[in-house]
């Protein structure tokens, strides 16, 4: 602090872990470049964080105390979304998201107005997750401020959504079941089969609300001044193709930084179990990490097949059994009866952990993942090969990148979603037990790890892109 601020970024976070993590890291990155930040979480997120990190009512939790102590001008605020705190925003996602994309705008508008008034001498601008559009463009227009959209997923998914009209014209949006067409007409996208399209490209896919709102969201995104992406240029030529229309910058992997402040922020919505001691008792590369992220759920039958597949494989494992992992909503009887006794010291079951710390531990040699984009990038950063079990959203498209393009993972199921314990065990062994598949995956994962790390080096692609973005942003708001 003390130096003149370059501008005032007003940032409102999407209230889900997979969006919170990259968004907080973007806030820190911008603050480290000399911008003032007002970062707002929704009140229910603030309450969850307080519970997770202060084990009590802890209403005074402030994410950025340490960041401020290290000299960043970053303020923390909360904003009400108009729903009761106890309303389940995951189980009732369709209802919630429909209202967030419509009625939440007036609450944000009020918040933005007040925040601008609180700092009359610093030029304000709006930074929101791209999935919040179209309202960020409308609000920015009203206050005559610049708006930046942050896309937290791969450029491939962005580009397919950006070119919806083209896909519609060719009969691929909405996408129909049992059609396997090759799409090779989207600018910058070499080729993708319709079976690898996002679940919400189908009229009855999950979640239905996204199928309905996606066209409007991307109409809004097209009105943003800048788009930053949590990927690397090395993903593909997609962003250079998109630059014809709007300035796009690949600045990932955003969840990593050499700045320690980034890592000390409490982002997890659940208390983290410490796995380090257990991992230290295991030999290098011997542990499979299993997690399906913070949002999606599955059936008890699939959990059971994975559980017995893990046992049959005889591989060490850490498995995150998160609250809400079952689609039945049952929280007490997730794992098969007696399973936890059977695993003895071979497995560790935790409700949540610090995933990056786990993946960075040398004992971890594989990741059975739903391929949420953060998990995918974190695994790539750590050079850990994946076994992909996508459940919804864009996860199946991420799997295509991991398995077909970068060759750093294998599919858990070769067809559909049904899981069989013997196949689970076979797939786990092929990744974890040193055969030819395992060797090939590890070699490729090492190469990808280097690409990710190089991107953030002094002359790396993402470092250059971020500097360029800051320069362009400064020029625009000047």
Q: Report the candidate in 1, 54, 44, 36 with the shortest Cα–Cα distance to residue 20.
A: 44
**Smallest distance, ligand UDX to C-beta of residue 150, A:** 12
Helix residue ranges per DSSP H, 337-460:
339-343, 355-360, 373-382, 395-400, 421-432, 436-455
Length of the chain: 478
**Smallest distance, ligand UDX to C-beta of residue 436, A:** 29
- Residue 128 contacts residue 204 (beta carbons within 8 Å): no
Q: Which is nearer to ligand UDX, 15 or 136 (CB)?
A: 15
**Smallest distance, ligand UDX to C-beta of residue 302, A:** 16
**Smallest distance, ligand UDX to C-beta of residue 198, A:** 9
> How many whole angstroms separate alpha carbon 202 and alpha carbon 399?
18
Distance in angstroms between the alpha carbons of the first and the last residue of the chain? 20
Q: Which is nearer to ligand UDX, 111 or 270 (CB)?
A: 270
> How many whole angstroms separate alpha carbon 338 and alpha carbon 349?
13
Q: Which residues contact 385 (CB under 8 A, 6 or more apart)?
A: 365, 366, 367, 379, 408, 409, 431, 438, 441, 442, 444, 445
* DSSP annotation of 165: H
* Cα Rg of the chain, angstroms: 22
**Smallest distance, ligand UDX to C-beta of residue 378, A:** 5
Q: Which is nearer to ligand UDX, 21 or 462 (CB)?
A: 21
> How many whole angstroms separate alpha carbon 230 and alpha carbon 233?
10
**Smallest distance, ligand UDX to C-beta of residue 395, A:** 5
**Smallest distance, ligand UDX to C-beta of residue 186, A:** 20
* DSSP annotation of 201: G
- Residue 137 contacts residue 149 (beta carbons within 8 Å): no
**Smallest distance, ligand UDX to C-beta of residue 431, A:** 19
Tokens of 332: 């007490």
Residues in contact with ligand UDX by the rule CB under 6 A: 16-19, 21, 153, 268, 291, 293-296, 320, 352-356, 372-375, 378, 393-395
> How many whole angstroms separate alpha carbon 428 and alpha carbon 288?
8
φ and ψ of 350, to 5 deg: -130, 155
Q: Which is nearer to ligand UDX, 94 or 472 (CB)?
A: 94
Beta-carbon count within 10 A of 4 CB: 8
Q: Which is nearer to ligand UDX, 36 or 50 (CB)?
A: 50
For residue 183, what are the β-bridge partners? Answer: 192
**Smallest distance, ligand UDX to C-beta of residue 434, A:** 27
- Give, in degrees to the nearest 5, the angle at Cα 384 between 248 and 459: 40
**Smallest distance, ligand UDX to C-beta of residue 271, A:** 10
Q: Which is nearer to ligand UDX, 159 or 294 (CB)?
A: 294
Q: Which is nearer to ligand UDX, 219 or 272 (CB)?
A: 272
Q: Beta-strand (E) ranges in 101-184?
A: 124-129, 146-151, 182-183
Q: Report the candidate in 66, 48, 68, 50 with the shortest Cα–Cα distance to residue 58.
A: 50
**Smallest distance, ligand UDX to C-beta of residue 89, A:** 13
Tokens of 231: 């990927």
Q: Which is nearer to ligand UDX, 78 or 360 (CB)?
A: 360
**Smallest distance, ligand UDX to C-beta of residue 309, A:** 20
> How many whole angstroms separate alpha carbon 358 and alpha carbon 16?
21
Q: What is the separation of C-alpha 415 from the centre of its chain, rounded to a whole number of angstroms?
A: 25
> How many whole angstroms separate alpha carbon 393 and alpha carbon 407?
21
Q: Report the candidate in 354, 257, 356, 222 with the shortest Cα–Cα distance to residue 26.
A: 257
> How many whole angstroms separate alpha carbon 131 and alpha carbon 253?
19
For residue 226, what are the β-bridge partners? Answer: 148
């Amino acid at each position: 602090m003390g130096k003149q601020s370059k501008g005032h970024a007003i940032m409102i976070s999407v209230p889900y872990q997979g969006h919170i993590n990259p968004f907080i890291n973007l806030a820190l990155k911008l603050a480290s470049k000399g911008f003032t930040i007002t970062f707002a979480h929704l009140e229910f997120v603030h309450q969850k964080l307080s519970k997770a990190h202060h084990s009590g009512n802890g209403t005074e939790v402030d994410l950025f105390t340490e960041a401020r102590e290290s000299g960043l001008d970053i303020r923390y605020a909360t904003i009400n979304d108009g729903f009761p705190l106890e309303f389940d925003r995951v189980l009732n996602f369709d209802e919630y998201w429909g209202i967030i994309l419509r009625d939440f705008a007036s609450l944000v508008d009020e918040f933005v107005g007040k925040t601008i008034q609180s700092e009359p001498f610093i030029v304000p601008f709006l930074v929101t997750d791209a999935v919040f559009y179209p309202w960020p463009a409308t609000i920015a227009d009203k206050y005559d401020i610049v708006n930046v959209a942050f896309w937290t997923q791969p450029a491939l998914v962005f580009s397919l959504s950006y070119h919806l009209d083209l896909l519609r014209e060719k009969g691929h949006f909405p996408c129909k079941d049992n059609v396997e067409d090759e799409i090779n007409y989207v600018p910058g996208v070499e080729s993708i089969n319709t079976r690898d399209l996002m679940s919400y490209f189908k009229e009855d896919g999950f979640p239905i609300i996204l199928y309905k709102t996606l066209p409007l969201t991307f109409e809004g995104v097209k009105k943003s001044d800048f788009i930053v992406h949590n990927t690397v240029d090395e993903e593909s030529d997609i962003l250079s193709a998109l630059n014809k229309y709007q300035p796009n910058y690949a600045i990932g992997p955003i969840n990593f930084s050499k700045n320690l402040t980034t890592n000390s922020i409490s982002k997890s919505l659940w208390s983290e179990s410490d796995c380090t001691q257990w991992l230290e008792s295991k030999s290098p590369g011997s542990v499979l990490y299993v997690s399906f992220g913070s949002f999606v759920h599955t059936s008890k039958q699939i959990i059971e097949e994975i559980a017995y597949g893990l046992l049959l494989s005889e591989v060490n494992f850490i498995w995150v059994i998160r609250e809400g992992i079952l689609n039945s909503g049952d929280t007490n009887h997730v794992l098969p009866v007696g399973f936890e006794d059977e695993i003895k010291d071979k497995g560790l079951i935790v409700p949540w952990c610090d995933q990056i710390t786990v993946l960075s531990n040398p004992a971890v040699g594989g990741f059975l993942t739903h391929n949420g984009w953060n998990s995918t990038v974190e695994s790539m950063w750590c050079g850990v090969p994946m076994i992909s079990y996508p459940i919804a959203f864009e996860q199946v498209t991420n799997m295509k990148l991991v398995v077909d393009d970068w060759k750093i993972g294998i599919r858990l199921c070769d067809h559909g979603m049904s899981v069989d314990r013997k196949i689970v065990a076979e797939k786990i062994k092929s990744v974890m037990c040193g055969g030819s598949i395992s060797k090939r995956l590890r070699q490729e994962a090492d190469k990808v790890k280097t690409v990710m790390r190089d991107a953030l080096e002094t002359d790396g692609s993402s470092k250059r892109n971020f500097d360029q973005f800051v320069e362009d942003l400064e020029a625009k708001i000047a």
